[in-house]
Structure 1
Amino acid sequence: MDARVTISGNVGGPVELFTTPTGKSRAVFRLACTPRFQRQGSWTDDQTIWMRITCWRNLADNVAESVNKGDPLIVTGKLRSAVWDDDDGHHQRLEIDADIVGHDLKRGVAVFRRVARTDDPEDADSAEQDPQELAGEPDALAAV
């Protein structure tokens, strides 16, 4: 069973768009989530949580064209754990394979522009990804 999550936050940097060896699009960006709470009558920021977000295919192309650093977003997808070893030791981080990405309209306004559909089933939006798609990509295991 997949762990599905929804998270909101601000984009922490530019969206990076890649093309896999099989020609599929992959977009990656970081989302900063800073919980706020009231303490003794004043608002305080808690520790910022950084989450790596990965999008595939049509969603990746649309995110790369629509999302900029600082944008408030809401992201829904599958929670994943990435684990790897390198010269610096053993690493692990949580990531979200996004199914849905949208601007948080509580914090601003947006203009929607529909993209022409294709009938190619390979273009269907899906967070399901074959690990072989990452082979040979420069940041496939790099820490964000």
Structure 2
Amino acid sequence: MSSITFAGNLAEEVELRYAQNGRAMARFRVLENRRTRNADGEWVDAEPNAWRVQVWGDMAENVAASCHKGDRVHITATSRPTSGQIKRPGRPADRRRSTRAKFLSASASTR
């Protein structure tokens, strides 16, 4: 399992659900803005990276209560393949399970 760290803004409201055993799970997407140089050497906006993230347990409830669409977050996550990726090797992994989430937006700490 690989780890990845990235920062970005929440693209949507956090979706909080509970498993049959009562354990909380939150899902959300983070957009990470990128800048590149064009042919003239000027910096321009590039297509953002979009990350789908899951968090579990107390962290899921904290993220759902504290973070809202547009808030800046810093995520450290592990990457693991979905069952579809195991059955179809070569399909890019796009789901991350967060092991740590930090709220960077001032608004996140005041809600």
Is the pair's TM-score, using the shorter chain for normalization, greater than 0.5?
yes
Measure the CA separation in 1 of the matches of 2:51 and 2:82: 12
Measure the CA separation in 2 of the matches of 1:15 and 1:102: 15
The letter of the residue matching 1:66 is: S
TM-score (ref. length: structure 2): 0.80
The number of residue pairs the alignment matches comes to 105
Please identify which structure carries the higher helix content. Answer: 2
Deviation at 1:30, TM superposition (A): 0.5
Measure the CA separation in 2 of the matches of 1:18 and 1:109: 25
Tell me, which stretches of 5 or more residues in structure 2 are unaligned? none
For the aligned residues, what is the CA RMSD?
Answer: 2.3
Residues 13-36 of structure 1 show CA distances to partners (whole Å, capped at 9, x for unaligned) of 010000000000000001111211
Tell me, which stretches of 5 or more residues in structure 1 are unaligned? 114-144
The letter of the residue matching 2:53 is: I
The equivalences for 1:73-92 within 5 A come to: 73-84=73-84
The letter of the residue matching 2:106 is: V
Determine the structure 2 residue equivalent to 1:26: 25
The letter of the residue matching 2:63 is: V
Deviation at 1:83, TM superposition (A): 4.0
The letter of the residue matching 2:99 is: D
Measure the CA separation in 1 of the matches of 2:61 and 2:44: 36
TM-score (ref. length: structure 1): 0.63
Residues 63-121 of structure 1 show CA distances to partners (whole Å, capped at 9, x for unaligned) of 00011111111100101222439xxxx776411111111123xxx536759xxxxxxxx
Equivalent residues of 1:83, 1:92 under 8 A apart: no
Structure index of larger Rg: 1
Determine the structure 1 residue equivalent to 2:106: 109
SS of the residue corresponding to residue 60 of structure 1 reads helix
Identity of aligned residues (%): 25
The equivalences for 1:1-144 within 5 A come to: 2-39=1-38, 40=40, 42-84=42-84, 93-104=93-104, 108-109=105-106
Measure the CA separation in 1 of the matches of 2:5 and 2:58: 20
Equivalent residues of 1:103, 1:110 under 8 A apart: no
